[in-house]
Amino acid sequence: MFRLPKLSLPLLTAVSLLGCNSSTKQPEYQASAYLPAYNQSRFDEYQTETRQWLLQHRIFLTEDREQELSFIMPQQFNPEQPNGKAVLLVHGLGDSPFSFKDIGRHLAAQGYLVRTILLPGHASKVGDLQLPSIEDWEGVVKHQIELIKQESDSVWLGGFSTGGNLVTEHALQDDSIEGLLLFAPAFKPTSKAVRFADIASYFIDWVDVDPEISHLRYNSLPMNGAAVYYQTSSNVRQQLKGQHYDKPVFMLLSEGDKVIDTPYVANTFSKVMTNPDNQLVWLGEDAPQDTRATTFSMQLDELKISNGSHMGMLFSPHNSEYGQDGTMLICNNGQGEELEAQCLAGEDVWYSAWGYTEPDKIHARLTYNPYFAQSMQIMDELMTVQQ
């Protein structure tokens, strides 16, 4: 008889309670009848058909539908002075192409043709994350790589978190890819329980159910989304075993990241990604012993920053939504209901990774990279060396 591993029992118990939550009966937690197509023959067709699908299936959270769509749609950033090279960028679990708004604009300013894509199940309503399979996510990445290759013989791949897994797995199998730009790649999660998400998905629909109040990303997580993410991490770890990837790699990691196993990822960079020109940007205090690493302290009292977060490394301090004066304040930060309520009430806050606490301080999520410009400069130098 098949038995569930013991470590999965706490996960199943906790999530079963969430699965009974009546809030999952609301429209945002229901799945659409089908996912959008992604195998169009041209990128502009992909954008047009994705837009049409989102207009029919997205639950809009503001009155300005056009602005919402402009944030979460697949984008193309066209360079004013093309250098003949291209970059494809893939977002993470629960996110949207907005993740790469700042990085995409920066790369286009350096001369690259840049495209962002939408992983199926994202940017419409969180219930749609009950629909995709690993084949859907791998399929859209593979297809969009082939499309962008039609525009350039020199293609870089970039990814954040789950997107980092997907592009790394592809690059390990495709020698034509010039190199990788990895932002907190989720090669290994910190949570051991997530490995059982595939099993749990047969019994339980939701890992977490929260109010869906962000127009840029999901707050809740269906069990299927967690299961497909874990498949990406398992697949890329298998691909990395025994490998020595000698193409150029830029990697950005946060020491305070509580989502991914950062030491494992840093060790992979040092042991597997062997190109001497590689660059690791470490946001924290205790960097890996690698001569290719650059460290930036995240103990920034003048900015009320305690440490760096998983999501914050992607965004410029000037980002309209997530920047230093942006519209998004994430008080749900793993610090308990009392401190979260004080944050929402407008009391003075500091900024940190999920789950960080400190006596006499309220912490919201850090949503931007105070060293964004320096990080981009280091990335540019790596990419220029390879030209």
CB 315 within 8 A of CB 370: no
Asked if the structure places residue 58 within a domain, the reply is: yes
Asked if the structure places residue 348 within a domain, the reply is: no
Residue 303 exposure: Cα atoms within 13 Å on the Cβ side: 20
Asked if the structure places residue 114 within a domain, the reply is: yes
Asked if the structure places residue 318 within a domain, the reply is: no
**Which residues, other chains included, contact 186 with Cβ-Cβ below 8 Å and sequence gap of 6+?**
92, 93, 161, 162, 164, 165, 229, 232, 233, 259, 260
Cα–Cα distance, 137 to 230 (Å, whole number)? 12
Asked if the structure places residue 347 within a domain, the reply is: no
Extract the runs of DSSP E, i.e. beta strands, from 72-160.
76-77, 85-90, 113-117, 154-160
326 exposed, middle or buried (CB, 10 Å; 0-12, 13-18, 19+)?
middle
Strands 350-352 and 363-365: parallel
Query: Which residue's entry shows tokens 């970059």?
Result: 87
Q: Which domain holds residue 20?
A: 8-241
Asked if the structure places residue 173 within a domain, the reply is: yes
Cα–Cα distance, 240 to 345 (Å, whole number)? 46
pLDDT tens track, the chain, 387 positions:
323 333 344 444 444 444 444 457 899 999 999 999 999 999 999 999 999 999 999 999 999 999 999 999 999 999 999 999 999 999 999 999 999 999 999 999 999 999 999 999 999 999 999 999 999 999 999 999 999 999 999 999 999 999 999 999 999 999 999 999 999 999 999 988 888 888 888 888 899 899 999 999 999 999 999 999 999 999 999 999 988 999 999 999 999 999 999 999 999 999 999 999 999 999 999 989 999 999 999 999 999 999 999 999 999 999 999 999 999 999 999 989 999 999 999 999 999 999 999 999 999 999 999 999 999 999 999 999 755
CATH code (residue 87):
3.40.50.1820
Asked if the structure places residue 140 within a domain, the reply is: yes
pTM: 0.93
Cα–Cα distance, 376 to 252 (Å, whole number)? 10
Cα–Cα distance, 369 to 377 (Å, whole number)? 13
291 exposed, middle or buried (CB, 10 Å; 0-12, 13-18, 19+)?
exposed
Q: Which of 178, 177, 148 is nearest to 382 (CA)?
A: 178
Asked if the structure places residue 111 within a domain, the reply is: yes
Q: Which amino acid is at 289?
A: Q
Count the domains in the chain. Answer: 1
